[in-house]
Amino acid sequence: MKPQMNSETSDKHGLYKIALRVARILHQHGFEAYFAGGCVRDRLMRRPPKDYDVATNARPNQVIKLFKKTIAVGKAFGVVMVLIDNQQIEVTTFRTEGPYTDGRHPDSVRYTSAQEDVARRDFTINGLLYDPVKNKLLDLVDGQADIRRKLIRTIGDPLARFREDKLRMLRAIRFAVELGFRIDAGTKTAIKKLAPKIKLISAERIREELKRILISPLRHHSA
């Protein structure tokens, strides 16, 4: 699938321009900068992204110094919110994660490379990175192929991914419903095996995922 990522069509509230501006500033100061996750998937699918996340090798303190207005929403986890023109762009430092003792959040993070950052993400369709300055798509997990196949598949061992974060099981179902995709056999088997563990997740987070599933126009789709 040839990347068609630089179009500003359906650019909600000018977010593409702002995210591109953030990426350019990071590049100008010698850092890597990629659009990451759902916004890359959505643009490849010709869907307007709801938001843009930027992944970088710049550390949180370096990001804060580069931009006039920031909020250190998750500085301990490498996350800084950059505010430009009343819009927010989440900037996250490439990281690997320690154990998930609570079944939802990592106990610790270690800053690392783009390649290792992708390896800790949930699903292949969310593991794509796109450099908007160089027009370069980085696909280390066959995410483009899974988009073409309309397939929800975890990055790495599905049991490990779901044991880390139990909410990912509901997210797999929600993505399948929202996108009209099917769930990979191994991923589905892992969900069935670990399904009782979903009760460890807060009722609020479960309710939010279920709400998005139920209001989806494709809610009758069989995952």
Query: Are 123 and 16 contained in the same domain?
Result: yes
Instruction: State pLDDT tens for residues 130-182.
Output: 999 999 999 999 999 999 999 999 999 999 999 999 999 999 999 999 999 99
pLDDT of residue 13: 65
Contacts of residues 69-78 at CB distance under 8 Å and 24 or more positions apart, as own/partner, are 76/109, 77/106, 77/109, 78/109, 78/111
Query: Are 133 and 84 contained in the same domain?
Result: yes
Contacts of residues 211-217 at CB distance under 8 Å and 24 or more positions apart, as own/partner, are 212/174, 212/178, 213/170, 213/173, 213/174, 213/177, 213/178, 216/174, 216/177, 216/178
Domain boundary among 148, 174, 196: 148
Domain boundary among 90, 116, 148: 148
Instruction: State pLDDT tens for residues 35-68.
Output: 999 999 999 999 999 999 999 999 999 999 999 9
pLDDT of residue 110: 87
* CA distance linking residue 208 with residue 127, whole number of Å: 23
pTM here is 0.88
> Which residue would you say has higher pLDDT here, 131 or 14?
131
Distances from the Cα of 99 to the Cα of 4, 108, 161, 196, angstroms? 37, 7, 11, 20
State which residues form the domain around 162: 150-223
pLDDT of residue 102: 65
Query: Are 108 and 168 contained in the same domain?
Result: no
Domain boundary among 148, 175, 209: 148
Q: Number of folded domains in the chain? A: 2
pLDDT of residue 75: 79
Query: Are 194 and 155 contained in the same domain?
Result: yes
